[in-house]
Chain A
Amino acid sequence: MSTQTITKSKMWGGGNSPFKVSYGKLMMWIFLLSDAFTFSSLLVGYGAIRYSFPSTPQEQIEGLGLKFGEDVQAKFADGAAAHGEHAEHAEHFIPALREAGVFTELQWPSPDLVFNHFPFAHGLHLPLIFVSLMTLILILSSVTMVLGVEAGQRMDQKGVAKWLFWTIVGGFAFLSCQAWEWTNFITAGATPWANPYGPPTFAALFFLVTGFHGFHVFSGVVLNVITYLNVRKGTYEERGHYEMVEKVGLYWHFVDLVWVFVFTFFYLI
């Protein structure tokens, strides 16, 4: 029997796995495909709404004369100070750009002018640097996850535990970054129905897409913690294989994959 070649009709006739993967892993792939559809619908909606607004004209951005690393709060403070605002952390950048007609409901804000904050560098113009750091954290945590899967294939319990631990650390680091990013955006006055930087739909889409992604990261961290505890307990050692790490890993890489496109569409374009 074992030497018999599996013919095509037998292959799809039941009683075996045509894809040569376990039931659980196949179902994880199908779930991820459906989840990819969900994120695609969000990106389709984002793309369509984005293109129904004109972009911020490049001359307008260049006209501001912003330099990389420059203190934008101080740069625009003069005008606001004349109106009696002296608080050290008062927002001068957004009101000045609203007055200049750069931030208006009629045009899509340039990500350059919206996501230009970095922790402990208040007021400095540092576009894209923080999200690049977040991208690096997520790629690194993806690598530690796949190293954990590789250790599982060698039945190396200690290795799996070690790499899963670092993946969880990476997940928490990413979530913290996102919490900081949201805090910044909300402090500036953005809500799902209001946006000081431009059209309210911009803020609504930002909260919807990054929130949906962040919730996936959070679920991934929860799954990783459960798997980590099971690895330490020896559940998979007893089962004879570490496929659970592989399945959770698929989910974790999917989250990284979605971030690649959120990064591309929200922050780069």
Chain B
Amino acid sequence: MANANKNIDIHDEENYDPTVWVPKVHSHGTSDIWKRFWILLGLTIVDVAFYFMMAPGMLRNFIFIVLGIVKAWFIVGTFMHMKHEKKSLAMMIILPMILIIFFIYWMLFEGAFWGTFKI
């Protein structure tokens, strides 16, 4: 499909112009989207169910965090189209975030230590 203004092929990889080049896209259909919606809705309902039916504690917190990561996986994978991107792009985005999870976890211990300073 030629660009009306510049009259060049915006999908041409041999004449790569970063200001206009875009890859050709095709639809993956809507069934996958709706499936993920029902999964996300179901996981949120599971969250609420655990909230009311289980006593607070480390195990419940752990379940909530795992469910949160699963939800994030579906949002990034399907809604943000990550599973159809190149592996190198996906790794560039996902790997740093995995390290952040550890950072949050470690800082909880640091916070608990600050608590011991209080009177």
Q: Could you tell me which A residues sit within 8 Å of B by CB distance?
A: 1-2, 15-23, 26, 29, 32-33, 36-37, 40, 43-44, 47-55, 58, 68, 110, 127-128, 132, 135-136, 139-140, 142-143, 145-147, 149-150, 153-154, 238-241, 243, 246, 249-250, 253-254, 256-257, 260-261, 263-264, 268-269
Contact = CB atoms under 8 A, between A and B. Distances in A.
A150 B22 CA distance: 16
Contact of A268 (B13, B47, B109, B113): B47
26 contacts: A18-B86, A22-B18, A23-B18, A44-B100, A47-B108, A49-B114, A51-B108, A52-B111, A53-B115, A68-B52, A127-B51, A128-B51, A143-B79, A146-B33, A150-B27, A238-B4, A240-B1, A241-B1, A243-B25, A253-B75, A253-B76, A260-B72, A263-B68, A264-B47, A264-B64, A264-B65
Given A22-B22, A48-B114, A128-B48, 18 more contacts: A15-B16, A20-B86, A21-B85, A22-B21, A33-B97, A43-B104, A44-B104, A49-B111, A68-B52, A128-B51, A146-B79, A147-B30, A150-B33, A241-B1, A253-B80, A257-B76, A260-B71, A269-B65
A147 B33 contact: yes
Nearest to B13: A16
A37 to B, nearest CB: 7
Given A23-B18, A52-B115, A142 B44 contact: no
Given A21-B23, A260-B71, A264-B68, A132 B44 contact: yes
Interface string B59-99: 00100110110011001101111000110110011001100
A21 B75 CA distance: 19
Contacts of A20: 23, 85-86, 89
B63 to A, nearest CB: 9
A240 B3 contact: yes
Contacts, number: 171
Interface residues of B, number: 66
B52 to A, nearest CB: 8
B110 A48 contact: yes
Interface of B: 1-5, 10, 13-14, 16, 18-19, 21-23, 25-30, 33-34, 37, 40-41, 44, 47-48, 51-52, 55-56, 61, 64-65, 67-68, 71-72, 75-76, 78-81, 85-86, 88-89, 92-93, 96-97, 100, 103-104, 107-115, 118
B53 to A, nearest CB: 12
A33 B75 CA distance: 15
B42 to A, nearest CB: 11
Contacts of B44: 132, 135-136, 139
B41 A139 contact: yes
Contacts of A68: 52
Nearest to A258: B72
**Dominant secondary structure at the A interface:** helix
- A-B CB proximity, top 5 nearest: A48-B111, A51-B111, A52-B115, A52-B114, A264-B68
Contacts of B3: 239-240
A47 B107 contact: yes
Contacts of A1: 14
A153 B51 contact: no
Contacts of A21: 23, 85-86, 89
